[in-house]
């Protein structure tokens, strides 16, 4: 559909774009990324014919760009330039109508119902129809941007070249505009080539990305091939980390600042815990990076309060989340800062111990009720009813854990818990076999993310050894306390 072959070009004698080649298919959305001054806008100008290349060529549907008459080219290619401050004296509708220029013919152009429809539709899609009689210069930067996108859409060209279309737009309008543009690609087979400064938006919406570096292509490929930590850090010279988008297979980046917030040398100890008949409460001065399967704020996040709340054995509630949030709020614990879980075990029976490793210390907290013990390998054979009895395990580490270390901490803690069950000969009453846990166990791993960097947390590592020892010892002790309280021993 559109082919760029070994194109080079720039201004005066200076080459700004050098030897760039790529193809874009019909209906494809290609994002152009790159640092300031890397040649993105110049490349777009070379592709639209605004600049003449010093070598190489651009082909549209196999035909050389330079062989198109200007009106014919405008029927093939609509361009949204970077927005500049300039004096406008048109209304919104008149500005959008300029997009119909290539469809007018002869000395006395006639305005057709097709023109009328194209303008109306473009204004509707970009949500500027309500401003149709307003003067352009009286609109905000973001509103003006949407008017120019409407003008490009009204042109009804099969190829759209966009230079930062989301510039000046708030997030709702960024989403609305990119949804609209993407819909044009999917439903009307429009080919879209767009410059982006926002790597995350480009990754989310584009089929492929082209990363420019000093006038050349550094890489071109699907978002997961381009939005890589090493590539982005190398080209943009900024520290970033990448993470998956929650709904789409499109990697996202986060900037990693080099400036520290303030001095923060908090050391987590058992003094951070407060135990009452109502709850086990852990509180830290600063937020810890946390992974958990709690009722409130499960998954990963940064929190400074952890609550293991005691509930009655008959506790039942239709909306557990809401009830738990009310409980926390009544105790001055904000949802934004707190991980909350529940147990029917006496919270005063919680076992809390500190462990020291050469890499940094950790604190383990366990509450264990095993009236609902289950052999996980046989659970599929038996009928299970909701029952009370849960083991809640917290491991709080002074150190900086890598993502894999968080996951390995969960594995290590779970293995240690299962070993403790075996040690205490806790049986699954339905199968008569050794239980591995209960049906509603919860785990929380948290780390200060300061101090020693801890890449792994399996039992081959110092930290893994202490998690194994700590969770085993605390769980054994908690089970023994539980058995005594129940009069089993
Ligand atoms: N009209 C011009 N005349 C001379 N040099 C120019 C002109 N426009 C751009 N340049 C130079 O060309 C280089 C690349 O500019 P270009 O606008 O293509 O980069 P870009 O990647 O789009 O940058 P940005 O992200 O800042 O918009 C820059 O060094 C710039 O100074």
List the chain pLDDT tens, one digit each, 489 residues: 899 999 999 999 899 999 999 999 999 999 999 999 999 999 999 999 999 999 999 999 999 999 999 889 989 999 987 765 555 688 999 999 988 888 777 655 677 888 889 999 999 999 999 998 999 888 888 888 889 889 999 999 999 999 999 988 899 989 988 998 999 899 999 999 999 999 999 999 999 999 999 999 999 999 999 999 999 999 999 999 999 999 999 999 999 998 877 766 789 999 999 999 999 999 999 999 999 999 999 999 999 999 999 998 888 888 999 999 999 999 999 999 999 999 999 999 999 999 999 888 999 999 999 988 999 999 998 887 766 779 999 999 999 999 999 999 999 999 999 999 999 999 999 999 999 999 899 999 999 999 999 999 999 999 999 999 999 999 999 999 999 998 888
The one-character DSSP state at 50 is S
Of 255, 286, 309, the residue at which a domain comes to its end is 255
Comparing CA positions, the residue from 305, 275, 274, 279 lying closest to residue 290 is 305
Domain span holding position 394: 270-486
Q: Give the integer Cα–Cα distance in Å for 433 and 449.
A: 40
Domains in the chain, number: 2
369 neighbors 482 (Cβ within 8 angstroms): yes
What residues line ligand 1, using a CB cutoff of 6 Å? 11, 16, 34, 36-42
Domain-terminating residue out of 223, 255, 287:
255
Tracing tokens 């390995």 back to the chain, one arrives at: 408
Which residue, judged by its Cα, is nearest atom 25 of ligand 1?
Answer: 36
Measured by CA distance, the residue closest to atom 18 of ligand 1 is 39
Whether 260 is in a domain gets the answer no
Residues 12 and 48 in one domain: yes
Cβ atoms 476, 423 nearer than 8 A: yes
Residues 117, 11 share a domain = yes
Shared-domain flag, residues 277 and 251: no
How far is residue 159's CA from residue 191's CA, in Å, rounded to a whole number? Answer: 5
Assess if residue 141 is contained within a domain.
yes
Same domain (yes/no): 396, 311: yes
Residue 265 lies in a domain: no
**Local structure of residue 272 (DSSP, 8 states):** G
Q: 3-state class of 402 per DSSP?
A: coil
Last residue of a domain, one of 255, 280, 301: 255
281 and 351 together in one domain? yes
What pairing do the DSSP bridges indicate for beta strands 55-60 and 338-343?
A: unpaired
Domain CATH for 451: 3.60.70
Cβ 342 vs Cβ 307: under 8 Å: no
* Residue 222 covered by a domain: yes
As a whole number of angstroms, the distance between CA 247 and CA 195 comes to: 24
Cα–Cα distance between 279 and 311 in angstroms, integer? 9
- 277 shares a domain with 363: yes
Q: Which atom from ligand 1 is nearest to the alpha carbon of 12?
A: 4
In sequence order, which residues have a C-beta less than 8 Å from that of residue 122 and are 6 or more positions away? 96, 99, 150, 151, 153, 154
Which is the closest atom of ligand 1 to the Cα of 82? 27
100 and 179 co-located in one domain: yes
Report CA(14)–ligand 1 centroid distance (Å).
11
Pair (313, 447) in one structural domain: yes
Using DSSP's 3-state secondary structure scheme, residue 10 falls into strand
Domain of 36, CATH number, reads: 3.40.50.300
Cα of 10 vs centre of ligand 1, distance in Å, is 9
Name the 3-class secondary structure at 150. Answer: helix
Query: Does residue 152 fall inside a structural domain?
Result: yes
In degrees rounded to 5, what are phi and psi of residue 209?
-125, 145
Whose structure tokens read 């410059």?
195
Measure 202 CA to ligand 1 centroid, in angstroms: 20
Claim to verify: residue 314 and residue 435 sit in the same structural domain: yes
Quickly list DSSP for 69-109: -HHHHHHHEEEEPPP------SBHHHHHHGGGGGG--SSS-
Rounded Cα–Cα distance for residues 374 and 244 (Å): 34
In angstroms, the CA 143 to CA 126 distance is 9
Residues 279 and 248 in one domain: no
Tell me, yes or no, whether 261 lies in a domain: no
The best mutation among 12, 13, 16, 35 to test binding of ligand 1, ranked by most ligand atoms within 8 Å of the C-beta, falls on: 16
Ligand 1 centroid to residue 411 C-alpha, Å: 52
Q: Whole-prediction pTM value?
A: 0.83
Nearest-CA residue for atom 3 of ligand 1: 11
**Ligand 1: distance of its center to the CA of 199 in Å?**
19
Ligand 1: centre distance to CA 192 (Å): 21
Rounded Cα–Cα distance for residues 370 and 347 (Å): 14
Residues 333 and 231 occupy one common structural domain? no
Examine the domain organization and report whether 196 and 338 are in the same domain.
no
Please check whether residue 263 lies inside any domain of the structure. Answer: no
Burial class of residue 445 in the structure, from the number of CB atoms within 10 Å of its CB (0-12 exposed, 13-18 middle, 19+ buried): buried
């Amino acid at each position: 559909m559109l082919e760029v072959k070994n194109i080079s070009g720039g201004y005066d004698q200076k080459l700004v774009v050098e030897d760039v080649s790529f193809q874009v298919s019909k209906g494809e959305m290609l994002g152009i990324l790159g640092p300031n001054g890397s040649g993105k806008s110049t490349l777009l100008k070379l592709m639209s014919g605004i600049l003449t290349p010093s070598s190489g060529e651009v082909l549209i549907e196999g035909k050389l760009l330079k062989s198109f008459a200007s009106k014919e080219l405008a029927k093939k290619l609509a361009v949204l330039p970077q927005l500049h401050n300039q004096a406008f004296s048109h209304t919104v509708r008149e500005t959008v109508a300029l997009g119909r220029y290539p469809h007018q013919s002869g000395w006395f152009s006639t305005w057709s119902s097709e023109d009328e429809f194209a303008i109306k539709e473009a204004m509707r899609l970009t949500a500027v129809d309500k401003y149709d009689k307003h003067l352009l210069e009286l609109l905000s930067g973001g509103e003006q941007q949407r008017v120019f996108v409407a003008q490009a859409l009204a042109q009804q060209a099969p190829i759209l070249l966009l230079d930062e279309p989301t510039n000046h737009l708030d997030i709702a309008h960024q989403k609305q505009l990119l949804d609209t543009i993407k819909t044009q690609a999917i439903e009307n087979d429009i080919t879209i080539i767009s410059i982006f400064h926002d790597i995350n938006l480009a990754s989310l919406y584009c089929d492929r990305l082209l990363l420019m570096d000093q006038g050349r292509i550094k890489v071109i490929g699907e978002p997961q091939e381009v939005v890589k930590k090493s590539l982005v850090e190398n080209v943009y010279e900024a520290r970033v980390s990448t993470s998956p988008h929650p709904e789409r297979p499109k990697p996202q980046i986060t900037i990693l600042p080099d400036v520290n917030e303030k001095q923060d040398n908090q050391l987590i100890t058992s003094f951070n815990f407060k135990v009452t008949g109502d709850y086990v409460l852990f509180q830290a001065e600063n937020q810890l990076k946390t992974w958990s399967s709690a009722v409130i704020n499960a998954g990963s996040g940064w929190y400074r309060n952890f609550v293991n709340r005691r509930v009655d054995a008959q506790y039942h509630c239709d909306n557990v989340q809401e009830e738990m949030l009310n409980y926390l709020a009544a105790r001055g614990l904000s949802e934004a800062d707190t991980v909350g879980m529940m147990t029917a075990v006496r919270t005063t029976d919680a076992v809390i111990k500190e462990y020291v490793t050469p890499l940094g210390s950790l604190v383990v907290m366990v509450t264990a009720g095993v009236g609902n013990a289950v052999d996980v390998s046989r659970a599929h054979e038996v009928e299970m009813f909701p029952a009370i009895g849960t083991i809640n395990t917290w491991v709080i580490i002074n150190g900086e854990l890598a993502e894999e270390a968080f996951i390995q901490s969960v594995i290590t803690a779970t293995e240690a818990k299962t070993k403790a069950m075996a040690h205490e000969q806790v049986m699954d009453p339905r199968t008569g076999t050794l239980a591995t846990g209960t049906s509603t166990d919860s785990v929380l791993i948290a780390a200060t993310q300061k101090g020693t960097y801890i890449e792994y947390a399996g039992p081959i590592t110092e930290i893994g050894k202490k998690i194994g020892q700590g969770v085993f010892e605390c769980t054994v002790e908690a089970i023994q306390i539980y058995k005594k309280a129940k009069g089993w021993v």
